[in-house]
Amino acid sequence: MSAIRFEVLHVCKQSGARLGKLYTPHGVIETPIFMPVGTQATVKTLSPEELKEMNTQIILSNTYHLWLQPGDDIIKEAGGLHQFMRWDGPILTDSGGFQVFSLSKLRRITDEGVEFRHHKSGAKLFMTPEKAISIQNNLGSDIMMSFDECVELPADYNYVKESVERTLKWAERGLKVHKNTEKQALFGIVQGGDFEDLREYSAKKTVELDFPGYAIGGLSVGESKETMYRIIETTIPHLPTNKPRYLMGVGSADALIEGCIRGIDMFDCVLPTRIARHGTAMTSFGRVVIKNQQYERDFTPLDPECDCYTCRNYTKSYLRHLFKAEEMFGQRLLSYHNVYFLLKLMEQVRQAIKEDRLLSFRDEFFAKYGYDDPNNKRQF
Amino acid sequence: MSAIRFEVLHVCKQSGARLGKLYTPHGVIETPIFMPVGTQATVKTLSPEELKEMNTQIILSNTYHLWLQPGDDIIKEAGGLHQFMRWDGPILTDSGGFQVFSLSKLRRITDEGVEFRHHKSGAKLFMTPEKAISIQNNLGSDIMMSFDECVELPADYNYVKESVERTLKWAERGLKVHKNTEKQALFGIVQGGDFEDLREYSAKKTVELDFPGYAIGGLSVGESKETMYRIIETTIPHLPTNKPRYLMGVGSADALIEGCIRGIDMFDCVLPTRIARHGTAMTSFGRVVIKNQQYERDFTPLDPECDCYTCRNYTKSYLRHLFKAEEMFGQRLLSYHNVYFLLKLMEQVRQAIKEDRLLSFRDEFFAKYGYDDPNNKRQF
């Protein structure tokens, strides 16, 4: 029996977006959902209690980072990742593939696996599909990901074709060594760059391997949003309707909504916490760069429509001061707000699906956010 | 009428330490007390709610820093410092004197005031006793401090003598311009370096000015602890028994206890939060440097005798990981623990005073902490 179970509760008559429930060993998740990222066994600056308080249903953590520091053996000894970091809700771990390809230097890819250098120490390391599974087994995440090759775009057709074959072989090898299927569900990842035929091929072949869930990987890696949406549209029809679909590494407000409309159930991204640490807040009216002079004497909250801890208590003037003074509490308050903002957005999306009005919701949201203003498109 | 009222409830028969109550416009403080430092309108990494949760009774904030960033005019416009930073308990602000003398460069001291350069921008600034009061009036702290000259030790006798006279004149000028006495209490500061006769002179003359409370300044600035204790002993007999006594800038566990034994009621120091951010925890058994290899697989709490949030939830292994991975949440968890540790220590001190056994408590505490071990003295 699989570790997870997925139910589609409703399909939005206006948009085709899905409302679902994903049952995991550590709790039930209402989908579509955004997963805050806790790369190194902590969602940067935030406590597990704060994540709970803002209704975080599941977090993502990174296999690559935890393998190198503190080491998956130590986390296993601690009783697994949930116990180690004191997060008792569901956890999804990625496969390390994305980091191996984006962070490490001097990598050499063979069918066997990837040889590469540690992104800090320069030490020689070797990652294989089997190793990625074994690390994730040690971490004990609820949802694991197959080891895949993530190709940066634009890329050569023949290279991507070869890479898709390799990722398929790696997926099969991962499935073979994953024994803990009753406690941990292993998802397959569709690749294929921005080539529609390769995406279709990758989707069909991955589905043949029969995973309990499927991810669309290798997007948000340099291509335009139009391309990203086109690739999602190409891929989705080849994924089973009764399994969860996860769009990896995507977390801007517009892409979350557009992804749901195209049938995605799960998202993750470091975006909200990363831009928060650099002083940018996501709000109902677009982004706020808190260090701007205009907020010096602005004694109103970050987002007047938000009821998060930060917005209920602090003014833009105070937040600006914290960033000008380089105080960590500012990064903490903005991280809180941004994660809250995306979780709340997904809650509104779920409600809109339930009421068959997701397209209308999108239009209202975009109008308020300033998305209609062509000069503001990068503000997402 | 003064903004504050002070009561001595009990004097420890064994040690002479005082148990008291200090009534301020924002609440009643049980003394002796340690005041966590929120230099830039935030106790680094911690929220006001967390400070409340660990029974913080009063915090200290820095006039010099807030004057320069965001500016006391902005804080006044925000409704005062309490409102600006959302801390509704008592606040003590220092006078800026210590920072003018320790942080700034190229300073020129005259009887009029101090001309100096901004510690970051290099801009030319001028601080006077009147300015220090006006800034603190804008901040709206419950307890304000007189502008004083803080001399680094060792220092020349004649220079210190001259400086003591200057500080006395500055104190008088400050008193003259402070009008908001019903809402904000202004404390005087005793100086005099490590010269007993100058300390006695400074104390007597400062007390003649009739402040509602007195601080001992210019200690913990390079002298030995023996010298510090001797100077406290020299000064205390010249301070009135019915006014609070505040030892500025001292926060190591041993000095807090020794200070109380010598009749001090209030302390502040950045020590707990500063060493926390660098990975050092204060515990019942001495200091723990969390990055040490020995904690890699140590799945026990930081301090088995501590019941703070950090110790109730996290292991040394996890905390070490957070510091190795340079995660802010580690700094937050250690800051929480260290502040809690000192507040709890003061609670134990108050209990020991009540039960006339503070000397016994000190001996037990020091024995456990490893203070008897001469090699461990610097561990405080």
Q: Is B295 on the interface with A (CB under 8 A)?
A: no
- Give contacts of A321 with chain B, Cβ < 8 Å: 40-41, 69-70, 74, 84
- Is-cis flag, bond preceding B32, omega within 30? yes
A268 is a catalytic site residue? yes
Residue B359 confidence (pLDDT): 98
Among all residues of chain A, which has the CA nearest to that of B76? A297
Contact of B336 with B50, CB cutoff 8 Å:
yes
The verdict on whether omega for the bond into residue B237 sits within 30 degrees of 0, i.e. cis, is no
Interchain contact B367–A (C-beta under 8 A): no
User: Is the dihedral angle over the CA atoms B135, B137, B138, B140 positive or is it negative?
Assistant: positive
Rounded to 10 degrees, the C-alpha dihedral A285/A296/A46/A95 comes to 60
Q: How far apart are CA B141 and CA B24, in angstroms?
A: 10
Segment holding B98, helix H or strand E = helix B97-102
Q: How far is B270 from chain A (nearest CA, A)?
A: 15
The one-digit pLDDT tens for each residue of chain B (380 residues) are 799 999 999 999 999 999 999 999 999 999 999 999 999 999 999 999 999 999 999 999 999 999 999 999 999 999 999 999 999 999 999 998 888 888 776 788 999 999 988 888 888 999 999 999 999 999 999 999 999 999 988 999 999 999 999 999 999 999 999 999 999 999 999 999 999 999 999 999 999 999 999 999 999 988 999 999 999 999 999 999 999 999 999 999 999 999 999 999 999 999 999 999 999 999 999 999 999 999 999 999 999 999 999 999 999 999 999 999 999 999 999 999 999 999 999 999 999 999 999 999 999 999 998 866 555 444 45
The count of C-alpha atoms lying within 13 angstroms of the C-alpha of B67, restricted to the half-sphere facing its C-beta, is 23
Q: Is A86 an 8 Å CB contact of chain B? A: yes
Cβ-Cβ contacts under 8 Å, A320 against chain B: 70
Q: Which pLDDT score is estimated for A44?
A: 98
- Cα dist. A85→A41, A340, B3, B22, B225 in Å? 6, 20, 46, 41, 40
Distances A231 to A259, B3, B283 between C-alpha atoms, Å: 11, 69, 56
Q: Report whether B302 contacts B283 (CB < 8 A).
A: yes
Interface contact B45-A313, CB threshold 8 A = no
Predicted pLDDT of residue A225? 93
Smallest CA-to-CA distance from B282 within B262, B261, B254, B324 is with: B254
pLDDT tens by residue, A309-356: 999 999 999 999 999 999 999 999 999 999 999 999 999 999 999 999
| pLDDT greater at residue A287 or residue A380 | A287
Reported confidence tier of residue A370, pLDDT bands at 50, 70, 90: confident
Complex ipTM over 0.90: yes
Provide the CB-side half-sphere exposure for A162 (13 A, CA).
8
The pair of three-digit structure tokens given for residue A45, joined into one six-digit string: 């600056």
pLDDT level of residue A103 (50, 70, 90 thresholds)? confident
Higher pLDDT residue, B98 or A209? A209
Name every residue whose Cβ is closer than 8 Å to that of residue A278 and which is 6 or more positions away in sequence: none
Q: Which residue is catalytic, options A94, A142, A148, A265? A: A94
Q: Which of A95-104, A112-121, A241-250, B56-65 has the lowest mean pLDDT?
A: A95-104
- Asked if A42 and A64 touch (Cβ cutoff 8 Å), the reply is no
Q: Cβ of A317 under 8 Å from any chain B Cβ?
A: yes
Give yes or no for B86 touching A (CB within 8 A). Answer: yes
CB B244 within 8 A of CB B211: no
Residues from chain A contacting residue B53 (CB–CB below 8 Å): none
Cβ <8 Å between A325 and B45:
no
pLDDT attached to residue A321: 98
Size of interface A-B (CB pairs under 8 A): 104
- pTM (2 d.p.): 0.96
Token couple for B276: 């926390």
Which contiguous run of DSSP H or E holds residue A93?
Answer: strand A91-93
Minimal CA separation from A365 to chain B, in Å: 31
Q: pLDDT tens across A126-185, in order?
A: 999 999 999 999 999 999 999 999 998 899 999 999 999 999 999 999 999 999 999 999
Residue B101 · residue B93 · CB < 8 Å: no
Tell me the H-state helices in A87-243: 97-102, 129-139, 157-177, 196-208, 225-235
Spell out which residues of chain A touch residue B297, defining contact as CB-CB under 8 Å: 74, 77
Residue A331 C-alpha, separation from nearest chain B C-alpha, in angstroms: 9
Contact criterion met (CB < 8 Å) for B70 and A332: no
Q: How confident is the model at residue A248 (pLDDT cuts 50, 70, 90)?
A: very high
Which residues of chain B does A40 touch, with a Cβ-Cβ cutoff of 8 Å?
A: 321-322, 325, 327
Which of the following is catalytic: A72, A142, A148, A268? A268
Answer whether B77 sits within 8 Å of A299, measured CB to CB: yes
| Chain A neighbors of B327, CB-CB under 8 A | 40, 42, 44
Query: A77, A328, A333: best mutation site toward chain B, by most B Cβ within 10 Å?
Result: A328
Nearest-CA residue of chain A relative to B313?
A86
